[in-house]
Amino acid sequence: MRGVKAYVDKSDAESNVVKIWATKESGEIVLEGSASLGPNHPENYVQKLLNSRPTAKNLVVLEHAKIGDRSAAEKN
């Protein structure tokens, strides 16, 4: 990928976790996360993000679809 810069922020010298991100030349963030070293680390960036949002109830996307089904346009 051209024109992308990667960054690491290790604000806490005692921590084994760092914040990571990458931006395009325009400043747009194209990657954001955390990285850690070793088995003992706090909640990571993705876990924090998922835990900050409500859990959806009863996720049913294709409840009535079966293998081999065709859309209405293809049935003719």
Domain count, the chain: 1
Instruction: Check pLDDT > 70 for residue 75.
Output: no
Q: Which domain holds residue 34?
A: 4-59
Q: Is residue 31 part of a domain?
A: yes
Q: Is residue 45 part of a domain?
A: yes
| CA separation for the pair 38, 18 (Å, rounded) | 12
Burial 19-31 (b: 16+ CB within 10 A, else e): ebbebeeeeeeee
Q: What percent of the chain has pLDDT over 70?
A: 95
Q: Is residue 66 part of a domain?
A: no
Query: Residue 46's pLDDT band (boundaries 50, 70, 90)?
Result: confident
Instruction: Check pLDDT > 70 for residue 4.
Output: yes
Instruction: Check pLDDT > 90 for residue 28.
Output: yes
Q: What is the mean pLDDT of residues 22-29?
A: 95
DSSP H or E segment with residue 33: strand 29-36
Q: Is residue 73 part of a domain?
A: no
Q: Is residue 14 part of a domain?
A: yes
Instruction: Check pLDDT > 90 for residue 25.
Output: yes
